[in-house]
């Protein structure tokens, strides 16, 4: 009897090694980054030589290789130090402890990361599971004390890498204290070097002068990749991930060009787009990725990005967007502020039956609505009917936004899509 194909199988497979296209894959080779690799090597030399470590602040847009370059260099350092130590007597060996904290991991809905939570993260990195501390059980000073005593129980050098450090928010105590912890007298037995990595330029500008003095001893800027560099990185990745003959050079160039134009030179975006294109091509059962697949994959990513940025809005703004969605569905947009407000009140009540939260006044709602215009979600047209007719505003979605995206965003936030009647609003 002939076996039936699984519904999960595709006739042709293009992806040979999918892990190579995953977000957290650390490439074995870093391309097009000789400059930052060189700077970071210089900063790490003292550790290799057993001298006091330096601190550094790395910054640049998302997807430009900050994490990949730093991970690569850390691995090299651990590896090369291991080799150096193998030729040294026990007493001469250099000890390196490395700590990698992604500060983003401490951001939970509504709460930004703080120095305190990062300190908890450092303690838990050093402790065995079972002996970890919780993020809520201690007074901040206690957590810092525990952290410093854990650090001081190590020997040699501690290299602390704080990735996505901009998530730490306004309380940057730790960023000031950690790099200077030995000078301040918090630590006696170890030397600490801190590398902070940030996606956010505003964060860098707003750091306190004390942090700029300590952590930002050396700053390394990662500039965006141009289309040629993206193509180099992609070629290398595609060779490892995809079967021979499944992609032409023109496809790599198209993916690179799109990532360059639409995601300001992000290699992450380029790799994601390549993977999406290969998956779409596989789904269609063809043997080569076509330009059409790249375009479809690009639209899919754009769509996902927009939904994500809607879902990040606060509740009031989501209620307003939902009101506009219901008005748009019955072709009542562009709608006057009064009409939007009436619908908005129904939405707020539908979602707050239990909490008893009341809708904002028209004025209060209007403030949020103006922000939505500023963010590019909503278009507002000002009407003027002369002295007799008066002035008013009408609101509708901008071109990129529509009811289906609002629905997806609301559902992405774990909320049910409630039906709201627009009957009688005017
Ligand atoms: N120079 C490079 N060589 C090889 N791969 C790279 C390079 N730069 C970035 N990448 C890859 O692009 C993706 C995004 O890079 P990443 O380091 O995570 O960016 P960032 O931390 O700046 O947001 C990762 O998959 C990474 O491996
Ligand atoms: Mg990163």
Check if 230 has its Cβ closer than 6 Å to any atom of ligand 1.
no
Alpha carbon nearest to ligand 1 atom 16, residue: 65
Least reliable range by pLDDT among 95-109, 327-341, 358-372: 95-109
**pLDDT averaged over the chain?**
92
- Under the banding of pLDDT at 50, 70 and 90, the label for residue 372 is very high
Domain 226-310: which topology? Helicase, Ruva Protein; domain 3 (1.10.8)
pLDDT value, residue 422: 94
Give the C-alpha separation, 294 to 258, whole Å: 9
pLDDT value, residue 388: 80
Q: pLDDT, tens digit, for every residue of 128-181?
A: 877 888 877 788 889 999 999 999 999 999 999 999 999 888 888 899 999 999
Helix (H) or strand (E) holding 391: strand 391-397
pLDDT value, residue 348: 96
pLDDT value, residue 12: 76
Residues near 309 by Cβ (< 8 Å), separated by ≥ 6?
Answer: 375
Structural domain spans, the chain: 33-222, 226-310, 313-412
> Class assignment of domain 313-412?
mainly alpha
Q: What is the mean pLDDT of residues 284-297?
A: 95
Q: For the domain bounded by 33-222, which CATH number is listed?
A: 3.40.50.300
Give the C-alpha separation, 244 to 241, whole Å: 9
Give the C-alpha separation, 96 to 48, whole Å: 9
**Six token digits for residue 17:** 């090694």
Specify the ligand 1 atom closest to the Cα of 27. 27
Residue 242 predicted with pLDDT over 90 = yes
Phi, psi of 394 (to 5 degrees): -125, 140
Q: Which of 63, 231, 265, 270 to mutate to test the pocket of ligand 1 (most atoms within 8 A of CB)?
A: 63
Alpha carbon nearest to ligand 1 atom 10, residue: 65
pLDDT value, residue 387: 79
pLDDT value, residue 1: 47
Residue 196 predicted with pLDDT over 90 = yes
- Under the banding of pLDDT at 50, 70 and 90, the label for residue 111 is low
pLDDT value, residue 171: 82
65 and 229 in contact (C-beta within 8 Å)? Answer: no
282 and 14 in contact (C-beta within 8 Å)? Answer: yes
Predicted TM-score (pTM) above 0.85: no
56 and 40 in contact (C-beta within 8 Å)? Answer: yes
4-13: Cβ within 8 A, 24+ apart:
10/282, 10/283, 10/285, 11/285, 12/282, 12/285, 12/286, 12/287, 13/243, 13/282
Give the C-alpha separation, 259 to 61, whole Å: 13
Check if 221 has its Cβ closer than 6 Å to any atom of ligand 1.
no
Q: What is the mean pLDDT of residues 104-118?
A: 72
Residue 2 predicted with pLDDT over 60 = no
> Do strands 96-102 and 156-163 pair parallel, antiparallel, or not at all (unpaired)?
parallel
Residues near 136 by Cβ (< 8 Å), separated by ≥ 6?
Answer: none
């Amino acid at each position: 009897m002939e076996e039936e194909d699984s519904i999960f199988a595709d006739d042709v497979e293009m992806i040979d090694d999918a892990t190579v296209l995953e977000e957290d894959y650390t490439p074995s080779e870093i391309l097009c980054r000789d400059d930052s690799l060189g700077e970071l090597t210089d900063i790490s030399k003292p550790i290799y030589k057993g001298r006091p470590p330096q601190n550094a602040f790395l910054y640049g847009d998302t997807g430009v290789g900050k994490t990949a370059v730093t991970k690569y260099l850390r691995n090299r350092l651990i590896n090369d130090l291991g080799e150096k130590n193998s030729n040294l007597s026990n007493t001469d060996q250099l000890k390196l402890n490395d700590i990698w904290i992604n500060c983003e991991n401490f951001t939970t809905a509504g709460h930004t990361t703080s120095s305190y939570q990062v300190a908890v993260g450092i303690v838990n990195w050093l402790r065995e599971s079972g002996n970890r501390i919780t993020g809520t059980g201690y007074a901040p000073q206690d957590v810092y004390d525990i952290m410093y005593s854990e650090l001081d129980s190590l020997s040699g050098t501690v290299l602390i890498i704080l990735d996505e450090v901009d998530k730490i928010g306004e309380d940057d105590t730790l960023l000031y204290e950690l790099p200077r912890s030995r000078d301040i007298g918090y630590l006696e037995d170890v030397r600490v070097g801190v590398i902070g990595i940030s996606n956010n330029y505003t964060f860098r500008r707003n750091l306190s002068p004390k942090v700029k003095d300590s952590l930002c001893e050396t700053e390394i800027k990662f500039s965006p990749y141009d289309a040629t560099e993206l193509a180099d990185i992609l070629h290398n990745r595609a060779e490892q991930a995809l079967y021979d003959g499944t992609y032409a050079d023109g496809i790599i160039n198209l993916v690179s060009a799109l990532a360059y134009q639409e995601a300001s030179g992000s290699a992450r975006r380029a790799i994601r787009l390549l993977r999406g294109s290969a998956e779409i091509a596989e789904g269609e059962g063809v043997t080569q990725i076509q330009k059409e697949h790249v375009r479809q994959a690009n639209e899919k990513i754009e769509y996902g990005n927009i939904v994500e940025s809607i879902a990040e809005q606060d509740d009031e703004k989501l209620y307003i967007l939902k009101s506009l969605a219901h008005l748009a569905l019955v072709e009542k947009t562009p709608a006057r502020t009064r009409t939007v407000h009436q619908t908005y009140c129904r939405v707020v009540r539908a979602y707050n039956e239990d909490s008893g939260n009341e809708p904002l006044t028209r004025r209060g709602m209007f403030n949020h609505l103006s922000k939505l215009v500023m963010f590019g979600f909503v278009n507002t047209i000002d009407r003027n009917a002369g002295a007799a007719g008066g002035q008013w505003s009408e609101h509708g979605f901008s071109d990129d936004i529509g009811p289906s995206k609002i629905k997806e965003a609301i559902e992405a936030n774990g909320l049910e899509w409630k039906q709201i009647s627009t009957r009688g609003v005017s």
